[in-house]
Chains A and B, each alone.
Chain A
Amino acid sequence: MLRPRLIPCLLVHKGGLAKTVKFADPKYVGDPINAVRIFNEKEVDELFVADIDATRQAREPDYKLISSLAAECRMPLCYGGGVDKVEQVERIIGLGVEKVALSAAVIARPELVSEAAERVGSQSIVVVLDARQAGAGRYEAVTHSATKRTGLDVAETARRMQELGAGEIVVNAVDRDGMMQGYDRNLIAQVRDSVTLPMTALGGAGSLADFQSLFAEHGIIGAAAGSFFVFKGKYRAVLISYPNRTEKENLLNRARAGQ
């Protein structure tokens, strides 16, 4: 049986790893390659690495870093940040990354999704939608680390990205980022109802119970988190953690029982 995925999301900032709160105040949490080695030992389902500087600085992805990450990862890797051309997508896949995440670039030029899927296959094209509440029950897509508004409805945009050939939708709740108070269930349900693609929720997870209720509600879905996997305790001490095989199995069993 296909299992839901539990995915640490690592943010690259100034060459190191950082964690933000509501997309701001990045705090240094460690070295990227070292973190990958720890996550290898912990047998994580998948890793998502996002360079949060690249798009804002309008620079190329750091291919050297991506290449070392891909070589080190014993689990699938999704890379995002600063990708706005098909050639970049090809190059990153060629480095041994399984999936490339596109965000601001496909809001600006949606055809990039089709062009990229044509070359490397839909399964390797992930669209990340950063979402912010815009009035009661409505969510607007935002870009450039949530500094730019787009006026686009998130669920509608997800559907459009599916039509264009995306292979996965990651929906990231900006206002939940780093808060560790639970996922935005309303946002996730809206996007889930609008696409048949695999989807992954990001933003807000603070406990195993948050993953469990997400899996209970949606079955096959990706549960991504940043803070939860890198911080420990109320003083947010940096400590990489991930449920072991038994803990994960128990979590999935409880989620199935709650379905």
Chain B
Amino acid sequence: MIVLVDYGLGNIQAFANIYRRLGLPVATARTPQELDGARKIVLPGVGAFDWAMDKLNASGMREKLDELVLERGADVIGICVGMQMMARRSDEGKLPGLGWIDAEVVKFDTSGFNQPTHLPHMGWNDIKVTADDTLFRGIETPRYYFLHSYHVVPKSDAHVLATASYGGRFVAAVRAGNVYGTQFHPEKSHGWGISLLKNFAEI
């Protein structure tokens, strides 16, 4: 069972539709009770860092999520701002992050950009998978939709699963044990995204 964390932000229905079409069981959690026993969790995200943290904190699910992820070893994948929230802090906000991965979120440095378009990084970009991981199993020429001005910098390179290039390389996907994250939107990336979400379900 995949549990989608609905704290009022992000594309719950898009994830739910994809999993239903794949014939995989999926549920939405809006309360700590609905998270009970979850083994596989999707934390979506759209919007500014503090706004998203505020919403998650106000949802009442924060404590339960901490318990599931940190103590019970539930697999979790954070998407876009959902991935950024799993870091310790962000340049974009003042609130602390979830701290599930030793990383911080920084703004792209555009001072060396030699192209007319700077930020946000918007559109379809190729990624380079740098670690052999189930998440990217069987995905040929991986290409995903990005929409962001900030990116995650993990303290350890060992946590990097994939990178992409935009005026320099940045981290596109991470993994620290049971904690996964993608800066791009798999739920909005056609077949490449569907395969990734299926892989996450099968971990």
Name B125's contact: one of A2, A43, A74, A219 (CB within 8 Å).
A2
Chain A contacts for B166, CB-based, 8 A: 2
Closest residue of B by beta carbon distance from A71: B13
A230-242 contact mask (Cβ, 8 Å, vs B): 1 or 0: 0000000000000
Provided the pairs A70-B13, A71-B14 are in contact, do residues A43 and B116 lie with their beta carbons within 8 angstroms? no
Chain A contacts for B16, CB-based, 8 A: 71
**Which residues in chain A, 164-217, are within 8 Å of chain B measured between CB atoms?**
167-168, 192, 196-199
Least Cβ–Cβ distance between B189 and chain A, in angstroms: 8
**Which residues in chain B, 55-95, are within 8 Å of chain A measured between CB atoms?**
81, 92
Provided the pairs A76-B188, A167-B122 are in contact, do residues A122 and B10 lie with their beta carbons within 8 angstroms? no
Is B126 close to A, CB under 8 A?
yes
Is A72 close to B, CB under 8 A?
yes
Is B48 close to A, CB under 8 A?
yes
A134-170 contact mask (Cβ, 8 Å, vs B): 1 or 0: 0000000000000000000000000000000001100
Is B198 close to A, CB under 8 A?
no
Closest residue of B by beta carbon distance from A162: B118
Closest residue of A by beta carbon distance from B16: A71
**B46 and A93: CB pair below 8 A?**
yes
**A184 to B104 alpha-carbon distance, docked (Å):** 43
**Segment with Cβ contacts to B, from A25-33, A51-59, A102-110, A113-121:** A113-121
**A67 and B123: CB pair below 8 A?**
no
**B123 and A98: CB pair below 8 A?**
no
B interface bracket (residues with beta carbon within 8 Å of A): 35 or more
**B124 and A2: CB pair below 8 A?**
yes
**Which residues in chain B, 114-128, are within 8 Å of chain A measured between CB atoms?**
115-126
**Segment with Cβ contacts to A, from B25-33, B34-42, B141-149, B171-179:** B141-149
Chain A contacts for B120, CB-based, 8 A: 122-123, 167-168, 198
Is B134 close to A, CB under 8 A?
no
Tally of A-B residue pairs with Cβ under 8 A?
A: 129
Provided the pairs A124-B46, A168-B122 are in contact, do residues A74 and B51 lie with their beta carbons within 8 angstroms? no
**A96 and B123: CB pair below 8 A?**
no
Q: Which of A40, A120, A222 has the most CB of B within 10 A?
A: A120
Chain A contacts for B121, CB-based, 8 A: 2
Least Cβ–Cβ distance between A136 and chain B, in angstroms: 25
**B149 and A94: CB pair below 8 A?**
no
Name B147's contact: one of A70, A99, A196, A218 (CB within 8 Å).
A99
Is B168 close to A, CB under 8 A?
no
**B14 and A96: CB pair below 8 A?**
yes
Least Cβ–Cβ distance between A116 and chain B, in angstroms: 10
Chain B contacts for A1, CB-based, 8 A: 125-126, 165
**B125 and A94: CB pair below 8 A?**
no
Apart from A5-B124, A121-B48, A198-B123: 20 A-B pairs, beta carbons within 8 A = A2-B121, A2-B124, A2-B166, A3-B123, A45-B145, A70-B14, A71-B14, A71-B17, A72-B17, A77-B188, A118-B48, A119-B48, A119-B51, A120-B47, A120-B51, A121-B51, A124-B147, A167-B149, A219-B117, A220-B116
Q: List 30 A-B contacts (CB under 8 A).
A: A1-B165, A2-B123, A2-B125, A5-B124, A40-B190, A43-B191, A46-B145, A71-B14, A72-B17, A73-B14, A74-B188, A75-B189, A76-B185, A94-B9, A96-B12, A96-B13, A96-B46, A98-B147, A117-B48, A118-B48, A119-B47, A119-B48, A121-B92, A122-B149, A123-B147, A124-B47, A168-B122, A196-B117, A197-B118, A220-B123
